Structure 1
Amino acid sequence: MQVINQVITPEMQEIKEMIWQTVLQRDALKQEVEAWYKEHPKEKYPSMHNLILVDAALSTLDSCYKNLWDYNNIKTS
């Protein structure tokens, strides 16, 4: 579905920026995990909880943005 005159509130714009920053953080953590397992293939990555927390934060931000987008852009009859 394409919305021609989509509403993006200041709050939504802020959440989009937070999503972007969180994605960058997650990507950096994933690279760190990958590098760790290349050097320590039989050991558990010691800070996996950080990646889990970042994934959870990203999921929450995505849900918040979608709820705001739906509220501001889906017109009910």
Structure 2
Amino acid sequence: MAEIKYEIIETFGKVSENAKGWKKELNLISWNDRQPKYDLRDWDSDHKKMGKGITLSKEELLELKEILNKMEL
């Protein structure tokens, strides 16, 4: 299996943390030297291991923001 290369460009914040110390974070990440995307996923404490997540372009993130703003929570 090919190694995945990533660089965390900016961390925006922690959404949650589980009992094992893994944190669900929103970050701006460049995957395999590509254009950075917004990324929401679980990370271990030193950002060496990651869980499954979702990546969004700026346009997709703005659309998600609009949807969330319309929701009654």
**What's the TM-score once normalised by structure 2's chain length?**
0.28
**What's the TM-score once normalised by structure 1's chain length?**
0.26
Structure of larger gyration radius: 1
Bigger fraction of residues in strand: 2
State the structure with bigger RCO (CA 8 A, min sep 6), 1 or 2.
1
